[in-house]
Structure 1
Amino acid sequence: MSKTTASSPALATPTDLGRTDRSQVADALNGVLADTFALYLKTKNFHWHMSGPHFRDYHLMLDEQAAQIIGTTDDIAERVRKIGATTLRSIGDIARHQSTADNDAEFVSPVAMLRELHADNLTMVEALRHAKEIADEAKDNGTSGLIDTWTDFAERRAWFLFEATRGEA
């Protein structure tokens, strides 16, 4: 993963966070942002390729989850900018920062899709908890508070995905 670089003077946003703290928070948030984009695309992929007897329920659930996921991206990126750092710029930049694995399989069973997304959302919760620790160490209350909401969203998605596969083979 590449480190966040200092903003050019034209992009420098004043902040009371120290340079090291700002860099560490921004690096954590940019990792979360990359994984958010990767999770969004995987969720939409599975939404588009859903099949089977629970098609409608799963298709709609994944569409709702994808909308929530993409809805957080602007807040994450803007938080990075608010603390005086720069954020992701391209698909290539996302790929360099993401830890969420892509799934390019020709076919994935519906239950396997939901279980994979369940695991990915739990991994997102872990990444968010780690980012919160970094924000708290930096005394970055704004970032820390936002992370609480994003964590709750990811936990709820994981819960729904888990319950949708309970008892499925």
Structure 2
Amino acid sequence: MAPPTTPRLKTPSDLGDNARKDISGAINAILADSFALYVKTKNFHWHISGPHFRDYHLLLDEQAAEIFATTDELAERVRKIGGNTLRSIGDIAKKTRIADNDAPYVSPEDMLAELREDNQAVVKAMREAHGLCDEHEDVATASLLENYIDAAEKRVWFLYEIGRRGSPDGH
């Protein structure tokens, strides 16, 4: 649960208190997931190895930059509707649903699969947050999420396609 907003930080909004609380909570969780996914994507970018090193290294760097680019807009959206947003790494750690991977070695195939699953989880969380926005008639946050859902689905698609092996159905 988000701490109460101090009067100095309570941005005026026509959204009700419940809407601000619900939407801020959902967006802050997505924001925490985005930071965690950014760090994991950079971790794999730095530690990828093998015959496809250059292609995977560049792809993961592009995806990390795309993920990081969402963080400021998400945090500012929370503030625009009168909520508080993340303040620290500890705050991110408490709110994220993306698991760390501190293994000394992860195969490129496992990296791609893990990132695909994590990006898919972020898509799911964004869809759920979009539903909250619809309930509370917050079209601006919903619109922002629509663009981020599309971008995350593209990341899932790319990670799926480069991770496929064997038959055309992915097996």
Range into which the TM-score falls when normalised by the shorter chain: over 0.9
Deviation at 1:7, TM superposition (A): 1.4
* Cα RMSD (Å): 1.0
In structure 1, runs of 5+ residues without a counterpart are none
User: TM-score w.r.t. structure 2 length?
Assistant: 0.96
Q: Distance in 2 between matches of 1:92 and 1:100?
A: 14
**SS in structure 2 at match of 1:10:** helix
Q: Distance in 2 between matches of 1:64 and 1:26?
A: 28
Q: Distance in 2 between matches of 1:96 and 1:33?
A: 12
Partner of 1:143: 141
- The answer to whether residue 118 in structure 2 is matched with residue 124 in structure 1 is no
**SS in structure 1 at match of 2:11:** coil
Partner of 1:48: 46
Deviation at 1:6, TM superposition (A): 2.5
Partner of 2:113: 115
Moved over 4 A (4+): none
User: TM-score w.r.t. structure 1 length?
Assistant: 0.97
Q: Distance in 2 between matches of 1:121 and 1:96?
A: 19
Partner of 2:67: 69
Q: Deviations over 1:78-97 (max 9, x none)?
A: 00000000000000000000
Deviation at 1:146, TM superposition (A): 0.3
Q: Is the 8 A contact 1:33 1:77 kept in 2?
A: yes
Partner of 1:35: 33
Q: Deviations over 1:71-126 (max 9, x none)?
A: 00000000000000000000000000000101000000001000000000101100
Q: Is the 8 A contact 1:29 1:76 kept in 2?
A: yes
In structure 2, runs of 5+ residues without a counterpart are none
Partner of 1:101: 99
**SS in structure 1 at match of 2:32:** helix
Q: Is the 8 A contact 1:5 1:85 kept in 2?
A: no
Partner of 2:21: 23
Q: How many residues align?
A: 167
Alignment partner of 2:164 out of 160, 163, 166: 166
Whichever residue aligns with residue 42 of structure 1, its letter is K
- The percent of aligned pairs where both chains have the same amino acid is 56
